Amino acid sequence: MNVNNLSSLDDKTFKQFVELIYDRAGISLGPHKRALVSSRLGKRMRKLGITHYSDYYDYIRDDPGNNELVELLDAISTNVTHFYREPRHFEVLSQIIKRWEGQGQSSFRIWCAAASTGEEPYTLAITLSESLQSIWDAKILATDISQNVLKIAKNGRYEQERIDKIPRQMLTRYFQRYKDKDEVIYQVKDSLKRMITFTWLNLSSPPFPMRGPLDVVFCRNVMIYFDNDVRRRLLQEIYRLLKPGGYLMVGHSESLSGMLSNFKSVEPSVYVKTAGK
């Protein structure tokens, strides 16, 4: 069997994969994503020795443990991230945290809804550590649908080029530098790791097991993959989990017009749950 020569992805099978991915992850894939789907599924098929897309679909459908479904969703998910991405959000977070601490708050709960390989939740942890006078009880829940990226995030090991956005003094304070063979590696220190709980979560399937109330939710650059129905359900669940006066940060490129009526806009991509609602 020559797994380098895959069959073409026919209309019927493409539709089956689109429906499966939407049903299990809420990711909406239009016809223009066909080449992407074909390419990413092809990598899994080659690894498994499968040459026909319809056979791969049957393989996923017949897998009682859903292990290959997890691999499929990992392959489809796009994980583009870096430290201090969209930095204005972390400036706003710092201002909010300092204000709340000044008002006597000593417990802080933040949810990073799309943790990817960990850069965002670790940036959140650095921001909390730098903003608070004394960290009594600060916790971050970091979730993602991809088990593979969560493993990377938990390890907290980053190559030289991955940490170039981190200010030098923060890098020294929160990372341990060492060499692995000829490569320079930066390892997140335990002081940050202890603040974060990494766990799997499917954002398309609320209600979620968290009890809340949460102070701040970062749900950035993930809703662009959802249709309006999935976005609306997710936003309703975030609203439920946030405390009155809690904040929601979304990606600057995400258009959520008409779906945030229960939130008040503070500035572009920053919203607050109106107190008392």
3-state DSSP call for residue 198? Answer: strand
107 has which bridge partners?
137
- For the question of residue 173 being annotated catalytic, the response is no
Contact 45, 6 (CB under 8 A): yes
Contact 223, 251 (CB under 8 A): yes
Beta strands 137-144 and 196-200: pairing type? Answer: parallel
Residue 219's nearest CA partner among 206, 205, 231 is 231
Contact 223, 45 (CB under 8 A): no
- For the question of residue 144 being annotated catalytic, the response is yes
Among 24, 109, 144, 220, the one annotated catalytic: 144
Q: How many CB atoms lie within 10 A of CB 44?
A: 18
Among 34, 40, 162, 173, the one annotated catalytic: 40
The set of catalytic residues is 40, 144
